[in-house]
Chain A
Amino acid sequence: MAATDQPLSAPSLNVGAAAPGRSNLAKQQRLWGWIFLSPWIIGFAAFTAIPILASFIFTFTNFSLNTGEPITFAGLDNWLRLLSDPIAHQTLGVTIKFALIAVPVGIVVPLGLAAMLNAKSLWGKRIWRPLFYLPYMVPAISGIFIWQSFLNGNTGWLNRMLRGIGIVDPPNWLQDEGFILGAFMLMGLWGVGNAMLTMLATMQGVPTELYEAADVDGAGPARKFRSITLPMISPVIFYNLVLSVIGLMQYFVVPYVITRGTGNPNNSAYFFNMFLYKTAFTNFNMGYGSTLAWFLFLIALGLTIILFSTSRRWVYYASGDS
């Protein structure tokens, strides 16, 4: 650490001293910024921008996937329909309800696992880390297949265990309105590998001096976790938070496969993205499907922007940026 102390003040001196060169330097820096950014800008222009723009244009049309008819302009019809569509509102409700439980769990569980695997006294870390990451590698088809069997009300392992510990009438997870979102949550716990890994990797990068200094102050493990670990890994927590909000707004594959596309029982598992998908590909109404997608986009974008603006208050970047 001592070695880096010296140059710390030097660049600021340098920049401050050369006032005429400063704007030149800034210009050069900007140019370099654009150069490093260029792969994304090119890719965005080549692969992403046109489809996105096209889908936005679809929202003002009655583009159907099944009729051979040409696409016609429909004005704001799709958007107006959205405002008064009870299914859109209901499915959005299910999506938000699920996100409200799943987002916190999706942060706390991997954080807990990462802390556990980061514990100084844990033996055999090399073995545990891959084991906890393992489920994330299971291909979706096999995973859903397994969970469906695992959660079966009659013969599933979970209910057999629950009966084993004396619960006579365990829930029929995938058939019960009150439990199906819980069942999805359980399945979701299997997907926390990435979040756990990013948190774990960042935790291991927290400088040990900070903990040693806290030891000197007599801080306990809980306190060290709260005032050192959490702030130091907050950029990664923030990353996972944003991604899990975005991911949950688009939650689709698991409920679609498990409920065979129906969202039953009683629409309790009918997620917004399922509705969107069915509108576009079952009902072939790509115009309205795109409108639903853009509506979801606006909501998720709003949430993302809110998260970004609050991040200034709680995310700590060692580089001093915000």
Chain B
Amino acid sequence: MSRKAVYLLSIVALLALVIMPVSAQAPVTITWFVGLGTGSNSEQIEVQNQVVADFNAAHDDIELVINIAASNETARDTLSTLLAAGTPPDIVGPVGVAGSNAFADQWMDIAPLVESSGFDTSVFDQALVDLYRTESGGLSGLPFAVYPAITYYNTDLFDEAELAYPPSEFGAPYVWADGTEAPWNYDTVAELAKILTVDANGNDATSPDFDPTAVEQYGINFQWARLRLIWTNLQPSTYFTEGDTLTVPEEWVQATQWYWDRLWVDHTAPNTTAGASETFQPNAFASGNLGMSIVPLWFTCCLDNSIGNFNWNIAPVPASFDGEQHVAMDADTFRIVAASANPEAAFTVLTYLVTEAAPALGSVYGAYPALPAAQPQWVETISARYSPDIAWNVASDSLAYSNPGPVHHESNVPNYTQAYDREFALLTLIEGDSGADMDIAAEIATFESDMNAIISGQ
């Protein structure tokens, strides 16, 4: 071909030659991939960079490099691309249970590394370590951050409605304005939500004049919750699979009905359109126009705009349908990718992240540290950031009620991402306008048959 082609090819070859040895001479490089969960807002990026710099200053043999997929929407594609192209990162995190399940076959069993390095896992609560036990007895991660679901409530809105606040202790009842006591459960929440939902004329949802098309303040939501988290909050359970039929448990059908009633009968929970309207930006609770929101603790990452605008507090989640207290808990950790070329070095970084770096990272992620030693500092930091008057004890109290692995709201099913996607489709149906006149039983039947196909891999 032309001479131009020869020149260009030699330029390409030269560039390749120049760049490749540079990376080969460096100390062992460990790449830390951020983006599957939290970790991509500007403040977090800054703290993470500092954590990396601190590590590199203390280690000559390992160079830690951080890769930030700066958008939640594309982080998964990016990681898939890196893995499939044969250029995997060594460490991925913070990543929750769902994110880990999405890449279920990609993680390294770190049990042998724990063994060989002599790392003492007893610095953590044993129950939290057990969260990461695999069926075959291996270990897929070390505990880093836990986020129990809690009830966030807007105290200003409770005051305006002359309602007493939700209880700040597990097992305590809710006290109505007339002094009668009621158990702190979802029936009580539904009643409270009616009083806390107000239209433009000041009528609440208990009033016959209430106008559901002009709601300015809603009572309750599960901000950003995926379907199985909503279900699990209302009643922990699990899909039943028998042979090749999957069944949605009766409790979850009831839970669907409960949520649907709030959306479309009482109009006390914001539907998709309301949630996206200007009144409820940047999200319903942070807008100051929502009475109660049941969200994991990580929501404390992003409530700064409440400061000076409205007051809020936290309470335990309501008792589930069975009358018992159950707490759904998100848990983040860092994982080592099975394809990592330097597992030992990666493990050194991993232990650094979950111990020494835990306080700094934990506070910027809004995480309750799994490391007991770091917990007092967390309360101090978060109190200084928001208010010491907030019932922070609820966070640690919640741990005792957390759901065991099998009924975790993100527990694994085969073809996890597809199943996750299908669950999300059902939720958008319920919350969208099309949910208003949906036939719940029929939609769940369709859902069951689709899930069957997904789980059996068809």
Contacts and interface: CB of A to CB of B under 8 A. Distances in A.
In-complex A–B contact (CB below 8 Å): yes
Interface of A: 34-35, 38-39, 41-42, 46, 65-68, 148-149, 152-156, 172, 174-177, 257, 259-262, 264-266, 278, 281-284, 286
A175 B276 CA distance: 11
Contacts of B418: 282-283
Interface string B1-30: 110110011001000000000000000000
A175 B434 contact: yes
B322 interface: no
A309 to B, nearest CB: 31
7 contacts: A65-B80, A152-B273, A264-B432, A265-B432, A265-B433, A283-B417, A284-B417
B80 A281 contact: yes
Contact of A68 (B5, B73, B106, B432): B106
Interface residues of B, number: 38
A280 B272 CA distance: 28
Contact of A66 (B106, B274, B277, B434): B106
A175 B433 CA distance: 6
Nearest to A39: B4
Interface string B32-75: 00000000000000000000000000000000000000000100
Nearest to A149: B278
B163 interface: no
A283 to B, nearest CB: 5
Contact of B417 (A38, A149, A262, A282): A282
Interface string B266-280: 000000111011110
Given A65-B80, A264-B432, A152 B276 contact: yes
A281 B76 contact: yes
Given A260-B428, A282-B418, A66 B105 contact: yes
B425 A262 contact: yes
A266 to B, nearest CB: 6
A148 B274 CA distance: 12
Mostly, the A contact residues are loop
Given A46-B12, A177-B434, A261 B421 contact: yes
A156 B278 CA distance: 8
A34 B5 CA distance: 12
A68 B4 CA distance: 41
A154 B273 contact: yes
Contacts, number: 94
A264 B434 CA distance: 9
Contact of B428 (A68, A149, A264, A282): A264
A278 B103 CA distance: 15
A148 B276 CA distance: 8
Contacts of A175: 272-273, 432-434
Contact of A152 (B5, B12, B277, B433): B277
Nearest to A285: B418
B429 to A, nearest CB: 6
B415 interface: yes
A149 to B, nearest CB: 7
B422 to A, nearest CB: 10
B265 interface: no
B424 A262 contact: yes
A225 to B, nearest CB: 42
A65 B84 contact: yes
A316 B127 CA distance: 76
Nearest to B271: A175
A70 to B, nearest CB: 12
Mostly, the B contact residues are helix
B27 to A, nearest CB: 27
A139 B424 CA distance: 28
B273 A153 contact: yes
Contacts of A174: 273, 276
A172 B273 contact: yes
Contact of B2 (A34, A265, A282, A283): A34
Given A38-B4, A175-B433, A177-B434, A283 B415 contact: yes
A259 B77 CA distance: 18
Contacts of B225: none
B345 interface: no
A281 B77 contact: yes
A15 B434 CA distance: 72
Contact of B429 (A41, A176, A264): A264
A176 to B, nearest CB: 6
A152 B271 CA distance: 12
Nearest to B1: A38
Contacts of B172: none
Given A35-B4, A264-B429, A283-B418, 14 more contacts: A35-B2, A38-B2, A38-B5, A65-B83, A65-B84, A66-B103, A66-B105, A154-B274, A177-B434, A265-B432, A282-B76, A282-B418, A284-B80, A286-B84
B105 A68 contact: yes
Contact of A266 (B5, B9, B417, B434): B434
A35 B417 CA distance: 49
B425 A264 contact: yes
A154 B277 contact: yes
B253 interface: no
Nearest to B84: A65
Contacts of B105: 66-68
A154 B262 CA distance: 19
B445 interface: no
B391 interface: no
A204 B221 CA distance: 57
B419 to A, nearest CB: 10
B373 interface: no
Contacts of B279: 154-155
Interface in B70-118: 73, 76-77, 80, 83-84, 102-106
B161 interface: no
B425 A42 contact: no
B379 interface: no
A149 B275 CA distance: 11
Contacts of B440: none
A197 to B, nearest CB: 29
